[in-house]
Amino acid sequence: MADQKEQQPMRVDTALVKELAELLSANELTEIEVEDGDRKIKVKREGAPVMAYAPASAHAAPSALAAAPVASAEPAAVAAPIDAIKSPMVGTAYLSPEPGAKPFVAPGQSVKAGDTLLIIEAMKVMNPITAPKGGKVAQILIGDAQPVEFDQPLVVIE
């Protein structure tokens, strides 16, 4: 009887796998895992395409492979200042404390060390991102309610 169990193929809920893949794509995630009793499903995407700027590649045609390096090279040059404050986690960045409220900071605004620049929601926890030094906000490199990756540049303070 044990041999019969081992020989039976595993039944996979393809609708669930498809739904998980769509969740990955819609939320710009690299991996998602679901467990239900003894059943475990893990869907994973390659890391490199996720790290590319998704809005630019989403509009591109099948020739995106040729266009992607050019498209991602320009934003990387603009969005990767050495002194940029980077995301310490993966999550969703919010520029204001609540929808419709005034943003924490704006370009040109002076800040001091410890001032909240934005918040990142990760696993339903709001994590404040604070200024490590005083200065003037030169650039905000992300949009409100935008998914962010670990080590992604967020804000530049001069």
Q: Left, alpha or beta for 145 (phi > 0: left; psi -120 to 50: alpha)?
A: left
- Domain holding 134: CATH number? 2.40.50.100
Q: CA-CA distance, 74 to 84, in Å (whole number)?
A: 16
**Main-chain dihedrals φ then ψ at residue 22, nearest 5 degrees:** -65, -40
Q: Quick one: 144 and 91 in the same domain?
A: yes
Please check whether residue 66 lies inside any domain of the structure: no
Separation of alpha carbons 127 and 154, rounded Å = 14
Q: Which domain holds residue 129?
A: 84-157
The alpha helices in the chain, defined as continuous H runs, are 2-7, 14-26, 47-51, 54-58, 64-79
The model's confidence at residue 5, banded by pLDDT at 50, 70 and 90, is: low
Residues 35, 100 within the same domain: no
Q: Are residues 92 and 153 in the same domain?
A: yes
Mean pLDDT for 64-93 is 65
Inside any domain, residue 62: no
For the segment 41-76, what is each residue's pLDDT rounded down to a tens digit?
777 776 544 444 444 434 444 444 444 444 444 444
Inform me whether the pLDDT recorded for 144 exceeds 80. Answer: yes
DSSP bridge pairs for 32: 43
Strand order of the sheet with strand 146-148? 125-130, 116-122, 91-94, 146-148
Q: How many domains does the chain have?
A: 2
In a domain, 122, yes or no: yes
116-122 vs 91-94, strand pairing mode: antiparallel
Domain contains 71: no
- Assess whether 100 and 151 both reside in one domain: yes
